[in-house]
Homo-oligomer: A and B are copies of this chain.
Amino acid sequence: MTDIHLIDAAARRLEGEARRTPLLSSPFLDEIAGRPLFVKAECLQHTGSFKFRGAWNAVSALREAGDVKGVIAFSSGNHAQGVALAAKRQGLPAVIIMPADAPAIKIANTRALGAEVVEFDRATEDRDEIGARLSAERGLALVKPFDMAEVIAGQGTVGLEIAEQAGELGIDSARVLVPCGGGGLTSGIAVALAARAPGFTVHPCEPEDFDDVARSQAAGQRVRNQRLAGSICDAIITPEAGDLTWPLMRDLCGPGQVVTEDEALRAMALAHDRLKIVLEPGSAVALAAALFHAGKLEGDAPLIAVASGGNVDRAMMIRALQA
């Protein structure tokens, strides 16, 4: 169970390893949102996304707990790079299992960060079977992308930093908007802020048609997405929230916010123009909610949008800038 003590322990492990990313702002964005708006620029984290935090903490905890010979993860995206770099810097081998049809650049990037990439054929092979076999043969420990207490705790350090950085600005009440896929980042931040900034409310943010968390909150029970592909916000598309993350979000978060793909692209372009940071579409949904849907958030408390990652290819950024 991820609680504030686990997050504090993660922060100690991440000290000097993760970047303390800046809280940015622009008077031009404040004007669009209609109230003060801050952006936690986690796209500037090592590997270009917050995933490095959870991966580092999980790998550290596994090492401290005992005899781990290496780690293994299933991912074609930000989690793959986070685990690869965390393992490399801790001197452990990492095996990342990726579909053979994943973009070549993602496979190359993950290899360049020192991981062994094992490709599988989605049509004919069972990735879980491959993972289980490699784990048994080599003594590898699995690092899950979100539904793992130490991963959630690592992501929760973003919340500790938000509490400190907002505190330095004299902010004691805020709406914190977080891009939400499996919910590791959202639930980690919610736990951290419940303890350290109780005047802050966390809202999960999702793209239209993939808003399982917002619908789960409305239904009072976990529901799944109907579709699992076909969104430009691929970094935050998952079947459903996790067994660990869902109860935390249910108990701690305010209503989920939903934005269109077009709004995510416009938020990317405004982040480029006004904050000088590069966001990927999935990472821009929280900023999009802040910019274009602030009216749905009661009161006039400042908004803090987490920009969770910047691993976007050039063609998609060009599309955003031309929108």
Contact = CB atoms under 8 A, between A and B. Distances in A.
Interface of A: 19, 21-22, 24, 27-28, 31, 41, 43-44, 48, 109, 112-113, 269, 272-279, 310, 314, 317-318, 321-322
A113 B277 contact: no
Contacts of A277: 44, 276-278
B317 A321 contact: yes
Given A27-B113, A113-B27, A314 B273 contact: yes
Contact of A314 (B275, B276, B321): B321
Contacts of A44: 22, 24, 41, 275-277
A314 B278 contact: no
Nearest to A113: B27
A310 B112 contact: no
A44 B272 CA distance: 11
A317 B22 contact: no
A114 to B, nearest CB: 9
A322 B318 contact: yes
Number of copies: 2
Nearest to A317: B321
A279 to B, nearest CB: 8
A276 B43 contact: yes
A150 to B, nearest CB: 24
Contacts of A43: 276
A67 to B, nearest CB: 29
Nearest to A31: B112
A276 B278 contact: yes
19 contacts: A19-B24, A22-B22, A22-B44, A27-B112, A27-B113, A31-B112, A41-B44, A44-B276, A272-B278, A272-B314, A273-B314, A276-B277, A276-B278, A276-B310, A277-B278, A314-B321, A314-B322, A317-B317, A318-B321
Contacts of A276: 43-44, 48, 277-279, 310
